Amino acid sequence: MMLIETLDQKPGPESDLKYKRVVLKISGEGLCTDGGFGIDADELKRLGSEIKAVHDLGGEVAVVVGGGNIVRGSQIARHAQIEEATGHYMGMLGTVINALAIQDTLESMGVATRVQSAINVDRVCERFIRRRAIRHLEKGRVVIFAAGTGNPFVTTDTGAALRASEINADAVLKATKVEGVYDSDPMKNPEAKLFKHLSYNDVINSRLEVMDVSAIDLCQRSGVPIVVFNLRTPNSMRDVVCGKVIGTLVDAES
């Protein structure tokens, strides 16, 4: 576990990208206003601009979007006569709604996209096909992965780790509302310290809230680094792929 100073590096052209192929994991909350519900047009535009900035540099961007702004399986099952597995399927369908919103936002900005879903909804998007997803990325299309893993009882964090491992991504970029991973909750403790670097084992053993343990474990086994960063800071995603040291890097180094 290490706390280090921030280093500034200027963004460069495609060949200089530190992470050429990335999976951006954005929570459903990232599509609505703080404490809100559903989809907010301004938040969508802001997200679209961040993704476009990386795409314009030649980065290959895949997006795994959550659905917490619409339905969280375990919560809805707790409060209604709905079986938990059903709640999770509802949650996955919520992510399809979000994926379509991101798709049209990006297309309106001139960025070609494809949505691939882990649950077949053939009238609205493609099914997830690994080799086709990779081909889309190579052709410069942003691929939005919907419906997480397609299986209940897990979250889209695990979906992001899975897709990143499958498409040989250079990194998972985990978007949060704070600067990265802290030693305590920065919303409650103004003295909370930001970790600039953590190993996968640090995260798992200290039970730090980065992503689900299953997601961290899969990234560790696949050797995919995770960068946790604040997507609400303008150009932050571009800065990360260009190698600027921001947020928290999680990888195998101790």
Residues making contact with ligand UDP (CB under 6 A): 27-29, 66-68, 72-73, 87-88, 91-92, 94-95, 148-149, 151-152, 154-159
DSSP one-letter code for 197? E
Among candidates 155, 55, 150, 60, which has minimal Cα distance to 105?
A: 55
Shortest reach from residue 10's CB to ligand UDP, in Å: 32
Rounded to 5 degrees, φ, ψ at 22 are -130, 155
Q: Which C-beta is closer to ligand UDP: that of 17 or that of 23?
A: 23
Shortest reach from residue 201's CB to ligand UDP, in Å: 23
CB distance 31 to 40 below 8 Å: yes
CB distance 211 to 161 below 8 Å: yes
Shortest reach from residue 48's CB to ligand UDP, in Å: 18
Shortest reach from residue 7's CB to ligand UDP, in Å: 30
Q: Which C-beta is closer to ligand UDP: that of 171 or that of 242?
A: 171
Q: Which C-beta is closer to ligand UDP: that of 96 or that of 171?
A: 96
Residue type, 98: N
Shortest reach from residue 169's CB to ligand UDP, in Å: 17
Q: Which C-beta is closer to ligand UDP: that of 113 or that of 155?
A: 155
CA angle (96, 102, 106) in 5-degree steps: 145
Closest residue to ligand UDP, judged by C-beta, is 66
Query: To which residue do tokens 């800071």 refer?
Result: 233
Q: Which C-beta is closer to ligand UDP: that of 95 or that of 117?
A: 95
Q: Which C-beta is closer to ligand UDP: that of 57 or that of 146?
A: 146
Shortest reach from residue 227's CB to ligand UDP, in Å: 17
**d(Cα 194, Cα 178) in Å, to the nearest integer?**
10
Q: Which C-beta is closer to ligand UDP: that of 29 or that of 60?
A: 29
**d(Cα 28, Cα 70) in Å, to the nearest integer?**
7
Shortest reach from residue 152's CB to ligand UDP, in Å: 4
Among candidates 205, 62, 97, 92, which has minimal Cα distance to 154?
A: 92
CB distance 1 to 226 below 8 Å: no
CA distances from 253 to 2, 139, 197, 202 (A): 10, 33, 9, 10
